[in-house]
Structure 1
Amino acid sequence: MKMVREEDGKEVIIDYSVKYDDIYVRQNGTWLIKERTAHFSIIDARALQG
Structure 2
Amino acid sequence: MAPSRLSTSPVVLHLSFIFVIAILPTVFIPIFLLIYDIGYLLLEPRRVPG
Normalised to the residue count of structure 2, the TM-score between the two structures is 0.20
Instruction: Name the larger-Rg structure.
Output: 2
Higher relative contact order, chain-length normalized (CA < 8 Å, sep 6+): 1
Instruction: Flag the structure with higher strand content.
Output: 1
